[in-house]
């Protein structure tokens, strides 16, 4: 049997009895980083053969794992923290197990974005988890635009060296929305900080972040039932200039101003010129 085992995301006490039983009963444990997993295993006096299984060798590791499973070995798969596959190695392993008809299961437990969603207090009845933002700046913006109109909570992972740039990109696409940064989950210095995307996240950046963004506010405002052009025209009729009207309409819709430029300009070149100003 192959078991994907969730491990603590900070506090070593956050591991289930079933997870410990599975790890103790394993013949071999595949780890994202054997050195990292060794700390957890030593803490619980678990001593098993360890094999590295990370994003750079996951395909070859999957074949080793399948061979062991077909020998009726009990195999456990863990990542550095949290639930395997969730923005961590494991997806390729699952795919190969399915292809080869090998039985597998999940020993559930900690998951950082779920914990952060609870701590944030943002709506949790409808949300999208988008993991780490990857690619070049333009690729990130194009990817995020697909979710600009989503009215549920958006959840992201962000490394400390990337968080400021990620927040700026989120602000460019989503406009000025309420956001929440959760870090050091389950640890001594666990923190939940609320901020606006336009203002950015203050302070020194340390530890891995989960960023939660409020969804587009498309309900409750009758103006959002108008077309984009009509919405902007409404504010112009109230005495605002186009720039002010654009900003107001973008705020109503929970999108960035750049998303509405094309509805204020006669052609794309004019819109591009306006956007650069």
Average pLDDT over residues 96-119: 97
**Sheet (strand 75-78) strand order:** 50-52, 28-31, 75-78, 2-5, 104-107
Inform me whether the pLDDT recorded for 270 exceeds 70. no
Q: What pLDDT score does 264 carry? A: 77
Residue 235 reports pLDDT greater than 90: no
**Residue 154 predicted with pLDDT over 50:** yes
Per the prediction, the chain carries an average pLDDT of 91
Over residues 77-83, the mean pLDDT reads: 97
Start-to-end CA distance of the chain, whole Å, equals 60
What confidence score (pLDDT) does residue 274 get? 45
- Ordered by where they begin, the domains of the chain are 2-110 (3.40.1010.10), 113-213 (3.30.950.10), 222-276 (no CATH)
pLDDT for res 220: 58
Stronger pLDDT, 247 or 93, i.e. the higher one = 93
pLDDT number for residue 259: 78
Q: How far is residue 86's CA from residue 108's CA, in Å, rounded to a whole number?
A: 12
Q: Distance of alpha carbon 18 from its chain centroid, rounded?
A: 27
Q: Which residue has the higher pLDDT, 229 or 160?
A: 160
- What percent of the chain shows pLDDT beyond 90? 75
Among residues of the chain, what percentage have pLDDT more than 70?
94
- List, in sequence order, every residue forming a beta bridge with 50; answer none if it has no partner: 29
pTM for the model: 0.79
In degrees rounded to 5, what are phi and psi of residue 87?
A: 60, 20
Tokens 């690619």, residue located: 135
Q: Which residues partner with 203 through β-bridges?
A: none
The HSE-up count of residue 224 (CA atoms within 13 Å, CB side) is: 14
C-alpha gyration radius of the chain: 23
pLDDT tens, residue by residue, 33-68: 999 999 999 999 999 999 999 999 999 999 999 999
3-state secondary structure string across the chain:
CEEEECECCCCCCCCCHHHHHHHHHCCEEEECCHHHHHHHHHHCCCCCCEEECCCCCHHHHHHHHHHHHHCCCCEEEECCCECCCCCCCCHHHHHHHHHCCCCEEEECCCCHHHHHHHHHCCCCCCEEEEEECCCCHHHHHHHHHCCCCCCCEEEEEECCCCHHHHHHHHHHHHCCCEEEEEECCCCCCCEEEEEECCCCCCCCCCCCEEEEECCCCCCCCHHHHCCHHHHHHHHHHCCCCHHHHHHHHHHHHCCCHHHCHHHCCCCHHHHHHHHHC
* pLDDT tens column, 164-202: 999 999 999 998 899 999 999 999 999 999 999 999 999
- Per-residue pLDDT, 267: 43
How open is the CA angle 122-127-133, to the nearest 5 degrees? 100
Residue 84 pLDDT > 60, yes or no? yes
Distance CA 277, CA 273 (A): 7
């Amino acid at each position: 049997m192959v078991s994907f085992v969730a491990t603590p995301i900070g506090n070593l006490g956050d591991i289930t009895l079933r997870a410990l039983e599975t790890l103790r009963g394993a013949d071999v444990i595949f780890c994202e980083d054997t050195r990292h997993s060794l700390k957890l295993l030593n803490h619980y006096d678990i001593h098993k053969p360890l094999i590295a299984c990370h994003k750079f060798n996951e395909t070859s590791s999957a074949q080793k794992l399948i061979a062991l499973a077909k020998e009726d070995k009990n195999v456990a798969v863990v990542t550095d923290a949290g639930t395997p596959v969730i923005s961590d190695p494991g997806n390729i392993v699952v795919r190969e197990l399915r292809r080869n008809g090998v039985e597998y299961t999940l020993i559930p437990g900690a998951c950082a974005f779920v914990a952060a969603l609870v701590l944030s207090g943002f709506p949790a009845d409808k949300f999208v988890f988008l993991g780490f933002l990857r690619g070049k700046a333009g690729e990130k913006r194009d990817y995020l635009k697909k979710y600009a109109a989503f009215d549920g909570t958006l959840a992201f992972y962000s490394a400390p060296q990337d968080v400021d740039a990620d927040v700026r990109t989120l602000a460019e696409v989503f406009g000025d929305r309420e956001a929440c940064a959760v870090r050091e989950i389950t640890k001594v210095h666990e923190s939940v900080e609320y901020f606006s995307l336009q203002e950015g996240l203050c302070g020194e950046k340390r530890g891995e972040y989960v960023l939660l963004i409020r969804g587009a506010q498309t309900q409750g405002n009758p103006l959002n039932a108008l077309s984009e052009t009509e919405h902007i025209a409404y504010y112009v009729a109230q005495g605002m200039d186009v720039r002010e009207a654009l900003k107001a309409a973008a705020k109503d819709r929970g999108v960035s101003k750049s998303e509405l430029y094309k509805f204020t300009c006669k052609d794309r070149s004019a819109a591009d010129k306006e956007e650069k100003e």
